[in-house]
Chain A
């Protein structure tokens, strides 16, 4: 591999990893704070992509579409948490899995009814349709760099929010001792609603910003869900920092494996996961 190709692949890997982080962060946040294993997380990524498509059709503006989609995501998060998830806090993970798998079917059916089953596409916003030449042939689209930057920015905001704000303090407190937080007069159920809605919004926003560079198809949520779980398990269930490192690792390993060992590439991220679990059975940064 030449140096320039190595460099290009490095960018590819980092960019894929950052997007994976954005999707996986909501999953690990919800698990870390609330102990809820939300299998329907991938469905929210799918919903995000479809909403982006729908509102771009309606409004013609990608930015507007992203904002509307994020607001809808928050609303979905609040409703789902209040109506369904709330009943499961004191139940075991198996019940949660059952409910959230059911939600996958519901979201898939709604998608099929509302938007049909044909593959759909969103065009890259005009302002970011340029590309930067990397080699004689290969260019790098500005939009993809923008997506990477957005992912980094969201990671930074999350880091700041959890470590420096009152909400973050409550989240950390709720994570380590739910009863004590309640005893201190904090409305924990409201906190949970907020956290769950944020988790849903993160997945949805990931779906929105991924829409112009992916194909919007039925079942797209399930594919990312598996990659997300690999990320979260590698990083340590519930750890945001772990998800960040895990996502970059998965992105890089997957990218380089595709090129260097095409025959093994489909299993490399799982081999990576197994290897890390051998050394650190709880993942890299488990709490």
Chain B
């Protein structure tokens, strides 16, 4: 290389360097991430896990942020829907958050969407499964890294038929997530020739299940499919065992029935089969590392809520990386997020046109206090996104 050419290259490099640092200067502000999760009340544990996962992902992938810092603004929703619009407005108007992560509770999600739909921020839902969020209320700036209520339950209809269960009783709390889960099961189960002999809807949040279980015993169906979560799931599984139904009538459920509850349920949960987009024992490299690091950082095992929060963080990091750190153009940001291909602890996920994850659904069975994957009844399952016009 002759001297002239070398000089040229050096000059070009210097110019490029200056340009680069100018571009960086415009992007020196931290990326503001509003966190709207329940840190008190009945869903506090879920909110805490989601936040842990989110922070862990952004810390792990700090390099992908092209030097930009993250500023978290945390707000406690207390899982109270009536507070949601006010908190969302404050994150949007006062704090000018670039991203708003939340919530856990579907009612809160509705309140947030009302405020944030088509606004200059990106909302990422790390749990709430309400069909509407990526259905009739879907919007370019609303993403979800968890699931739609339809996704975990729909594949179980096929599983039930494969096991030659023809007459099934379904049961849940009488609220959105519960009814949507039972409907999704019914959709695939009856399409394949199964019969729902009875649908029991229990007033939320009642946990006196004894009378309903006695009735199920008198019907004696081939199997029972339920949606319950958290404390209600613990009580249901224990009652199902205590009243002698376990071992006589197989218990199937949406995966939340045995998620974060196994220790409390104890031996009563053994053998329960559920479908979900994740399982603790999922054997892949990302999940193994994720679970190990999570336990080290937070002193307790990771759960599904931590995974969903973690993936919200991955989605942010992935998009920021694609755009080289400059997220000032919202249209470009949304496009980058739509094209994201994430290596989640639950397996690879992409996003549907309605911004809901396209993901595997696993059939799990409780063995020795763990949800063991026994099959993948639906690979890369996409929510039908009924009513979404994106």
**A residues engaging B (CB < 8 A)?**
2, 4-5, 8-9, 12-13, 15-16, 112, 116-121, 123-124, 131, 133, 135-141, 143-144, 213-220, 223, 254-256, 258-259, 262, 265-266
Contact = CB atoms under 8 A, between A and B. Distances in A.
Contacts of B5: none
Where chain A touches its partner, the secondary structure class is mixed
Contact of A213 (B238, B245, B249, B260): B238
B146 interface: no
Contacts of A218: 41-42, 44
A262 B326 CA distance: 55
B220 A136 contact: yes
A8 B214 contact: yes
B208 interface: yes
A215 B248 contact: no
B390 to A, nearest CB: 36
A258 B217 contact: no
Interface stretch (B64-72, B149-157, B228-236): B228-236
Given A112-B40, A259-B211, A139 B203 contact: no
B367 to A, nearest CB: 18
Interface of B: 40-42, 44-45, 48, 200-203, 205-208, 210-215, 217-218, 220, 230-235, 238-239, 242-245, 248-249, 260-261, 263-267
Contacts of B220: 136-137
Nearest to B199: A262
A117 B264 contact: no
Contacts of B203: 265-266
B301 to A, nearest CB: 11
A104 B120 CA distance: 40
Given A215-B234, A217-B42, A138 B201 contact: no
Nearest to A266: B203
Given A123-B266, A214-B207, A131 B214 contact: no
B238 A5 contact: no
25 contacts: A5-B218, A8-B217, A12-B214, A13-B211, A117-B42, A118-B264, A120-B264, A121-B234, A131-B244, A138-B218, A138-B244, A139-B242, A213-B238, A214-B207, A215-B230, A216-B264, A217-B42, A217-B231, A217-B234, A218-B44, A219-B41, A219-B42, A258-B208, A259-B214, A262-B201
Which one of A131, A135, A217 has the highest number of Cβ atoms from chain B below 10 Å of its Cβ? A217
Where chain B touches its partner, the secondary structure class is helix
Which one of A5, A138, A214, A259 has the highest number of Cβ atoms from chain B below 10 Å of its Cβ? A138
Across the A-B interface, the 3 shortest Cβ-Cβ residue pairs: A139-B244, A121-B264, A217-B231
B214 A124 contact: no
Contact of B231 (A119, A143, A254): A119
B318 to A, nearest CB: 30
A121 B260 CA distance: 12
Given A138-B245, A141-B243, A259-B211, A112 B238 contact: no
Contacts, number: 125
A268 B208 CA distance: 14
B42 A215 contact: no
Contacts of A133: 244
B211 A119 contact: no
B36 to A, nearest CB: 18
Contacts of A137: 217-218, 220, 244-245, 248-249
Contact of A140 (B212, B215, B243, B263): B243
Nearest to B47: A117
A9 B239 CA distance: 14
B167 to A, nearest CB: 14
Contacts of A216: 231, 264
B238 to A, nearest CB: 7
A135 B214 CA distance: 10
Contacts of B211: 9, 12-13, 255-256, 258-259
A213 B42 CA distance: 19
A112 B210 CA distance: 28
B194 to A, nearest CB: 20
A112 B43 CA distance: 12
Given A121-B238, A139-B244, A255-B208, 7 more contacts: A4-B218, A12-B211, A119-B260, A131-B242, A131-B244, A259-B215, A266-B203
A15 B40 CA distance: 33
B362 to A, nearest CB: 22
A138 B42 contact: no
Nearest to B38: A117
Nearest to A4: B218
Nearest to A13: B211
A138 B213 CA distance: 8
A8 B260 CA distance: 32
Nearest to A16: B208
B265 A2 contact: no
B214 A138 contact: yes
Contacts of A118: 45, 260, 263-264
Given A215-B264, A217-B42, A218-B41, A141 B206 contact: no
Nearest to A12: B210
A124 B238 CA distance: 10
B262 to A, nearest CB: 10
B218 to A, nearest CB: 5
Which one of B205, B218, B232, B245 has the highest number of Cβ atoms from chain A below 10 Å of its Cβ? B218
Contacts of B235: 214-215
A143 B214 CA distance: 17
B5 to A, nearest CB: 66
